[in-house]
Amino acid sequence: MVSLNSEKMIVLASRSESRKKALKLLGLKFRTIPSKIDERGFKEKRPELRAKGLAELKASSVAKKLKNAVVIGADLIVVYRNKIYEKPKSKSEALAMLKSFSGKTVTVVAGLAVVDSSSGKMLSTVEKCKVKFRKLTDNEIKEYIAKYPVLKFSAAFDGNAALMFAERVEGSIAFYTGIPLNELVLFLRKLRCLK
């Protein structure tokens, strides 16, 4: 748990349930105001720059509308064989994605940006981890797709799937929360939101 040290409102520029849970885990009181940017219009293709750039864009687009707030933006990208995997458009595409990851290693890239709407100061970073999937059966993939809203997840999987399907995870735990929590705490301290 962290201690708040500010009258500033903390805002999460996302509707992601895993990110909301992550902020609640830290004990933060926050509002949710999803950014409405069109990610397809963002042309950067290098994964680290894309994740960081989208996080910055989400945070700054919401911060412009607010006074006396600290806005948190985040973006998560999955990369496999040098290809960025976006959210699947259908359950059949989700199935194909997850089957292709079976027994393979994917890289999860998480971007984070925190903006003080009063000063315009922005802090941002990117974290990476590797998730090695064990060999998956068609049945467990289909059960996962039936149970979870896979069309909302980059590459059709979330942190729960990574824990269920991973043989090994190396690097940042942002793959699970959808947001680099350690860096978030450090950024909020720098912006004097936390004690």
Catalytic site residue 75? yes
- Given 38, 75, 138, 158, the catalytic residue: 75
DSSP for the chain reads ---B--SSEEEE----HHHHHHHHHTT---EE------GGG----SHHHHHHHHHHHHHHHHHTT-SSEEEEEEEEEEEETTEEE---SSHHHHHHHHHHHTT-EEEEEEEEEEEETTT--EEEEEEEEEEEEPP--HHHHHHHHHHS-GGGSGGG--HHHHHHHEEEEEE-THHHHSS-HHHHHHHHHHTT-B-
Catalytic residue ranges? 75
